[in-house]
Amino acid sequence: MKTKLKTIRDKALSAVSACQNINEIEDARIKFLGRKGELTKILRSLSSITSEERAAIGQLSNQYKREIESAIELRKDELSKKNIDMLLRDEWIDVTLNPRGTISTGRHGYLHPLSQTQYEIEDILTSMGFQILDGPEAETEYYNFEALNIPEFHPARDLQDTFWTEDGNLLRTHTSAIQIRGMEKMEPPFRIAGPGRVFRYEATDASHEHTFYQIEGMMVDREISVSHLIYVMKEILKAIFKRSVKVRLRPAYYPFVEPGFDLDFNCMICEGRGCRVCKHTGWIEFLGCGLVHPNVLKFGNIDPEQWSGFAFGMGLNRLIMMRYGINDIRHFMSGDLRFLYQF
């Protein structure tokens, strides 16, 4: 039996030495030291020999077991060191070096002002219980128009010149389509917001751009009224401008809300007295809003007899222009680093 034990020991040491990874080492351990391993079987057969032989064989078995366990740990350390050396050789990087580009410019990367403002407003909305949703920029005519109560040949389509694709789809003209997709998947009550890039096929100038950013929000619950809309708008503006803001609603037409409004807030430059910024009216036009049209709720599989809601949409570019006194919307998409470095 001593010869058999030595043979098992030699086989185990040889197998461990030949292992090339941790998994192979574990397989070798199970083969020789596991519950059904070769060395374990020998130890379980000790009851068939005399007590004198049993003591000697048991002592020798424990010695060989310790040798095998020691060899396993040593081989694990060798393979671990080998893997570390390989990673250091193949994936080495000097973290003390300056990032690419900062040696000459002295500037670090940071978020675009549109991204900064979008994330800021998302934080404000989520703190008020809104869930942020996303949707495709290439939309179907159904989600961009029809489900928003703008059927084919509706005159409101003339207000939104559109980029059409060859397959009959389009680049979304507003992020309202995100709200329709959200209504289809969610059960009221809910509060949702959809930020993103939108596109209009139109001539560009200081106040018009073919690509810009919006964020639209919707709240659906029971017995929602205009007072709920005004309260939420005031809280959003207060969080954005870090102060209480006076607002007013002016009747306006939007196909997806009824009634619809333009929301203005008191000019903060002149405190409502009138200046060039507010065109001497004392008010700044901010966003469109209103109570969700019953037809839109139906398209979202929501019963307008049981539920109601409000919706709003703001342009992020315009908001940033008002906050920082930017006089040309085309700066945002120009890629001019002189403009971006100001933020």
Domains of the chain, by residue range, sit at 2-90, 113-340
Mean pLDDT to the nearest integer, 139-148: 90
What pLDDT does 34 receive?
80
Banded pLDDT at 251 (limits 50, 70, 90) = very high
The architecture that CATH gives domain 113-340 is 2-Layer Sandwich (3.30)
What pLDDT does 225 receive?
94
Residue tagged 């068939």 (tokens): 48
| Beta strand residue intervals within 137-256, DSSP E | 138-139, 170-171, 190-199, 211-221, 247-251
Helix (H) / strand (E) element for 181: namely helix 176-185
Count the neighbouring beta carbons within 10 Å of the beta carbon of residue 19: 20
Contacts of 288 by beta carbon, 8 Å cutoff, 6+ apart: 252, 254, 257, 260, 261, 262, 263, 312, 313
330 against 278, higher pLDDT: 330
Q: Is the pLDDT of residue 180 over 70?
A: yes
Range of lowest pLDDT (15-19, 78-82, 150-154, 229-233): 150-154
What pLDDT does 46 receive?
64
Q: Are 28 and 72 in contact (CB under 8 A)?
A: yes
What pLDDT does 100 receive?
60
**Percent composition of the chain: helix, strand, coil (DSSP 3-state, to 5):** 45, 20, 35
For 224-247, the pLDDT digits (tens) are 999 999 999 888 888 888 888 788
The one-character DSSP state at 267 is -
For 314-329, the pLDDT digits (tens) are 988 888 887 787 878 8
